[in-house]
Structure 1
Amino acid sequence: MDPRNWDADEVRRYLQLGTLPADTEGVSGEGERAMMVGSTGPFAQLAGRQVLAAGGSAVDAVIATSLAQIALAAGSWVSYAGVFSLTHFADGATDSLSAGFATFAAEDDPSTIPRQPTPSGRTALVPGFMAGLQAAHDRFGRLPWADLFEPAIFVASEGFPVGAGRARQFALRKDVLPAGFMAVEGEEFRQPELARTLRAVAAEGAEWMYRGPWARQFVDVVRAAGGKASLSDLASYQPIWATPLVADFHGTQVHTVGRPHRGGAQLVEALRLAEGVGDPMTDPAALRELIHISRQAMRPGSHSDFVLAVDSHGAVAAACHSINTSLWGTTGLFAGGVSIPDAASFQQQALAQLGPGEHLPSPVNPAIALRDGAPVLASSSIGAGLHCATLQCLHAVLGLGVDIADAVRRPLFHGPDYLAGDTVVTPLQDRLRGKHFGSAWQAAVARAREAGVPRSEAWDAVLAEIPQVVEDRFDPSVLRRVEELGQPLTVRPVSDAAMPRGFWGGIALGERLAGARTPFSGGVVEGL
């Protein structure tokens, strides 16, 4: 699994692919016995393909890909101190794994945790990512744990080429990132401190981060910035295995993440409501209904990278992992080269409802659809409109019978228009320009309160005032009719960077494997 032993030209080509502008059409591909799909980092998907070619499991491929995605992102939109979620199928059984953020036991007043952009160690949480990988590997891994780290270690130590987009991200956060943690277009960006940490975790296991030297460094860094972390918080952290939630949808059983996540429950409810809805490309009533379902059943949430894999043994893994904040957060805290998210800086209300060590619920929804007990589709999504993208793509593939390669190229509606930007980049840009994030939402909430709307009806009342963002690729006559039916829309060019976009990927399992993802994220499809 050491990339220095792979074809050197292929390694350079896949690293260079990561510097190219995002595609506008989506990508798709086929395979005979195994497949890998990722949201970002083509080199990371190459690593997953190498795992599958070596006889590794679907979980092995997800682990290697996720680890490499974070090194390629330099800990910006994903982090080794972030979170991880998995839905898995093997030998006739599905499983759900949550490795979300957990609370610090000493944090007894979450309502006073500083909000972005005020930096504070109190905005950190107990990370779940590495513990989640270890738990998944312990149960479903085939290749040695240490081998799966080799691609990420290679990226951290040897570097990756910096393209124009990544250079803009570094420049955008120059006031937050540590001295020397900067790169311009055309440079190779290396992370030697991170490489040392990854080598240690590869050799010692996740315990290195939860009970070993990294745990001590994390606690010291967070406490020095005013946080309330303790060694016992990390040592007591446990991922949660749960029974997946299941939705019956057009002759399939869609299995998705269970407790404590809320995303799985929202997906189940949305699919229940979407049964029998027509084609939104041609039927205005169907488009209006799907938008209404996304608003009624699925609360917004933004996450950072997805990974899907099918191995040659028939196992299927659908995963999502995230830093759950804007690029690198606003604290600039690092431990052992690992970025420390400030995900508590905007979730004070949710944290106030949790006890010490409890997991923060997440809106992610990785899913696997079965028909007659056999998997037919793996699915995962990211972005501000992750629920909207998931609902539309599952409806197209499972409900309408659209080929997956065509499904990812259909026009989409995305998030409500109170959301600023596609994922973690444009919201940050808007805040730096002085634009108040969520101002339309807050104004609508104030009007609902003044009108005496009951709390139980507040969500629908507020959303009724906010247009839904839709791509301009829809038939204009369909969009006009949707608005005549009472659903306000904001129509934007498909390439608009400020679109509250959702990104979806899937693998369809049949006589051949077919993988695809929607436009703009940058990942690739790798089939064997």
Structure 2
Amino acid sequence: MTRPMLRPLTALTAAGMIALAPVAASAQEAAIYSSMDAVHPVWAKSAMVSVQEAVAAEVGLQVLKDGGNAVDAGVAVALALAVTLPRAGNLGGGGFMMVHDAASGETKAIDYREMAPASATRDMYLDAEGNADSNLSRFTGMAVGVPGTVAGMQLALETYGTMTLAEAAAPAIKLAEDGILVTADLADSLKALEKRLKTWPASAAIFYKPDGSFYEPGDLFKQPDLAATLKTIAAEGPDGFYKGEVAEKIAASVQEAGGSMTVEDLANYRAVIRAPVTGTYRGHEIVSMPPPSSGGTHIIQILNVMEGYPIGFLGHNSSDTIHLMAEAMKRAYADRSEYLGDPDFVDVPVAALTSKDYAAKIRDGISLNRATPSETIKPGKLAPYESDQTTHFSIVDKDGNAVSNTYTLNFSYGSGMTAAGTGVLLNNEMDDFSAKPGVPNAYGLIGGDANAVEPGKRPLSSMSPTIVLKDGKPFLVTGSPGGSRIITTTLQVISNMIDHGMNVAEATNAARIHHQWLPDEIRVEDGGLSRDTVAALEAKGHTIAVRSVMGSTQSIHVDAEKGLLLGASDPRRTGSATVGY
């Protein structure tokens, strides 16, 4: 095959397109690339990694080049992000991983969500008057759930990977030990979170200079305690985290901060493999995270409702399309408040929520021209019965295996607390439980009895790692951070590609909207909608709230017809990268 030109493999960042490694391109490939629309996706022929942080993306790409598969690369990326993106990448948090195995055609969900300690009680976050005290569930030792990331990465490797945990951890160890160059994004986040982090001496000692001053862009930032913890994990496997000295230090730090997590809680943690939640949308199969995530269930529920309307004909972000999407979103979030929780503790009616018949009943209650007030919307009568600073990555390897992973500490830098002597930032995921039925959490989400605190229970999450299949093979691998807006952000990327024929970069860049039932408003990105569209929505009875941008999707489109991987990192946050070969 003739190769008359070299084209640069590129990565989308907030600053635009940046060149990475030159990759040979045929004349035919060049023609395909040049014919794409103005917003170009990154493209590659063999494998691709899309990550919110560029150094970790390169770690994943190197694993793939060295012969590792998508899961090997995913674990290496997750461990590297604990070093390079400490506000969300983590050892002390948890999350969800979707894995598509090309050989078997199966897609499975790995649940490594945090768990409540054995001492947890239903009313542990109520004050003497019976009111929810958010400080307890966010910024004390009581906020910390038993971390799941290390166990989840091991489960992924032993089930689907080809590498050992030690091999996957090697790049992260080197980054923590030798240091990383501070980016503007990292420097800005440490300045913004100074108060939270400096509350905890162990965190202050790591994330600020000895005199208390800030790390600036270009400074070398080393994390020797984290490197030592990673080395222990590499040598001993998960036992190096959940047992022994590291576990003792984590439990001691939590207890000193007012929590009651014990070394037994850590030793008893288990990650689990679950069957994904599935649905169909206009000839595609949607495969996403089941409970204790609410994401997959409600993405499918909303898409089922939308499928009954000619969304493509109505137009992208037209007032009619947004109206119908918002009405579907309202009803899904109302159902979330009633029915969703940890399936090991409550019966979650996933089949009913994701049925086409239920979607038809929802459509019967939607007016085409008038908004339904949220106060009149109640959870549906069925058959018996997540921080902005989360991070997501997507990976597809040369064999067609795919990983969609979303994990988090909840808030930026979690509780702000680092377990002394470990370098491990600790989550504040206990805030994702319903401290009191009907009382909103930090993201305004209402919860009920299904998500009440119980020992060993996993809190409900909105994280929505998703793989869209076409003809049984990956078509789109996507996901996002964004707290309560993760569900609607992921949904819109899917709709933009399927309904509106956008390429993956256009689908990523397009303006987003969000409705979560309460408060009764359509949140829109600043500058995302025209005045005429806003006026038309208000005429239908909607309240419009203009806010900052939503989400940070990392997406890969597998174009089977062209034999290409097309990827895009969200420009809404700096420092991300989509790379491939």
TM-score with structure 1 length normalisation? 0.81
Matched ranges for 1:310-459 at <5 A: 310-331=396-417, 333-334=419-420, 336-345=422-431, 347=433, 348-349=435-436, 353-384=452-483, 385-413=485-513, 415=514
2:215 corresponds, among 157, 160, 184, to: 184
Structure 1 distance, partners of 2:181, 2:95, is: 26
Matched ranges for 1:459-498 at <5 A: 460=517, 462-464=518-520, 466-491=521-546
Q: Provide the residue aligned with 2:578 in structure 1.
A: 525
Q: Provide the residue aligned with 1:428 in structure 2.
A: none
Q: Provide the residue aligned with 1:513 in structure 2.
A: 565
1:116 corresponds, among 118, 126, 135, to: 135
1:80 corresponds, among 91, 98, 119, to: 91
Q: Provide the residue aligned with 1:202 in structure 2.
A: 234
Structure 2 distance, partners of 1:45, 1:372, is: 29
1:59 corresponds, among 35, 50, 71, to: 71
- Is the Cα contact below 8 Å between 1:383 and 1:500 reproduced in 2? no
Structure 2 distance, partners of 1:33, 1:192, is: 36
CA 1:27/1:335 → structure 2, altered by over 3 Å: closer, same or farther? farther
Q: Provide the residue aligned with 1:173 in structure 2.
A: 194
How far the C-alpha of 1:282 sits from its partner, in A, is: 5.9
Q: Provide the residue aligned with 1:286 in structure 2.
A: 321
Q: Which shifted more, 404-413 or 173-182? A: 173-182
Structure 2 distance, partners of 1:21, 1:482, is: 30
Structure 2 distance, partners of 1:177, 1:210, is: 22
Listed one character per residue, the Cα deviations across residues 388-414 of structure 1 (whole Å, up to 9, x for unaligned) are 21111100112332221221222222x
Alpha-carbon RMSD:
2.7
- Is the Cα contact below 8 Å between 1:27 and 1:524 reproduced in 2? no
Q: Which amino acid aligns with 1:367?
A: T
SS of 2:488's equivalent in the other structure is: helix
Q: Which amino acid aligns with 2:321?
A: A
Q: Which shifted more, 171-180 or 154-163? A: 171-180
Q: Which shifted more, 173-182 or 92-101? A: 173-182
Structure 1 distance, partners of 2:570, 2:185, is: 19
CA 1:470/1:116 → structure 2, altered by over 3 Å: closer, same or farther? same
Q: Which amino acid aligns with 2:44?
A: G
CA 1:96/1:134 → structure 2, altered by over 3 Å: closer, same or farther? same
- Is the Cα contact below 8 Å between 1:176 and 1:332 reproduced in 2? no
Q: Which shifted more, 478-487 or 23-32? A: 23-32
Structure 1 distance, partners of 2:72, 2:496, is: 30
TM-score with structure 2 length normalisation? 0.74
- Is the Cα contact below 8 Å between 1:59 and 1:140 reproduced in 2? yes
SS of 2:480's equivalent in the other structure is: strand
CA 1:326/1:293 → structure 2, altered by over 3 Å: closer, same or farther? same
Q: Provide the residue aligned with 2:552 in structure 1.
A: 503
- Is the Cα contact below 8 Å between 1:26 and 1:516 reproduced in 2? no
Structure 2 distance, partners of 1:56, 1:366, is: 21
Q: Which amino acid aligns with 1:291?
A: A
Listed one character per residue, the Cα deviations across residues 143-200 of structure 1 (whole Å, up to 9, x for unaligned) are 2321211221122111122234422332332532434321421421110111111111
Q: Which amino acid aligns with 1:53?
A: K
Listed one character per residue, the Cα deviations across residues 180-228 of structure 1 (whole Å, up to 9, x for unaligned) are 3214214211101111111111121112111232111111211222211
Listed one character per residue, the Cα deviations across residues 463-486 of structure 1 (whole Å, up to 9, x for unaligned) are 33x342234143332232122222
SS of 2:134's equivalent in the other structure is: coil
CA 1:22/1:360 → structure 2, altered by over 3 Å: closer, same or farther? farther
Structure 1 distance, partners of 2:475, 2:468, is: 6
CA 1:168/1:401 → structure 2, altered by over 3 Å: closer, same or farther? closer
Listed one character per residue, the Cα deviations across residues 317-376 of structure 1 (whole Å, up to 9, x for unaligned) are 111010012334244554511011222246334697243212222111111111222221
Structure 2 distance, partners of 1:160, 1:409, is: 29
- Which residues of structure 1 form unaligned runs of 5+? 1-13, 417-458, 493-498
- Is the Cα contact below 8 Å between 2:114 and 2:148 reproduced in 1? yes
Structure 2 distance, partners of 1:356, 1:407, is: 41
Q: Provide the residue aligned with 2:381 in structure 1.
A: none
Identity across matched positions, percent: 25
Listed one character per residue, the Cα deviations across residues 64-103 of structure 1 (whole Å, up to 9, x for unaligned) are 1111112012x32332110120111112111011111101
CA 1:412/1:346 → structure 2, altered by over 3 Å: closer, same or farther? closer
Structure 1 distance, partners of 2:457, 2:322, is: 38
Q: Provide the residue aligned with 1:297 in structure 2.
A: 332
1:245 corresponds, among 277, 281, 284, to: 277
CA 1:519/1:27 → structure 2, altered by over 3 Å: closer, same or farther? farther
2:81 corresponds, among 49, 66, 69, to: 69
CA 1:463/1:225 → structure 2, altered by over 3 Å: closer, same or farther? closer
Q: Provide the residue aligned with 1:235 in structure 2.
A: 267
- Is the Cα contact below 8 Å between 2:115 and 2:147 reproduced in 1? yes
Q: Provide the residue aligned with 1:306 in structure 2.
A: 392
Radius of gyration: which is bigger?
Answer: 2
- Is the Cα contact below 8 Å between 1:87 and 1:94 reproduced in 2? yes
Structure 2 distance, partners of 1:121, 1:26, is: 46
Structure 1 distance, partners of 2:56, 2:155, is: 21
How far the C-alpha of 1:259 sits from its partner, in A, is: 2.9
Listed one character per residue, the Cα deviations across residues 425-464 of structure 1 (whole Å, up to 9, x for unaligned) are xxxxxxxxxxxxxxxxxxxxxxxxxxxxxxxxxx84x433
Structure 1 distance, partners of 2:57, 2:473, is: 25
Q: Which amino acid aligns with 1:188?
A: L
SS of 1:463's equivalent in the other structure is: coil
- Is the Cα contact below 8 Å between 2:48 and 2:396 reproduced in 1? yes
CA 1:37/1:387 → structure 2, altered by over 3 Å: closer, same or farther? same
Q: Provide the residue aligned with 1:262 in structure 2.
A: 294
Q: Which shifted more, 322-331 or 222-231? A: 322-331
Structure 1 distance, partners of 2:232, 2:79, is: 14
- Which residues of structure 2 form unaligned runs of 5+? 1-9, 18-37, 127-131, 209-213, 338-385, 437-446
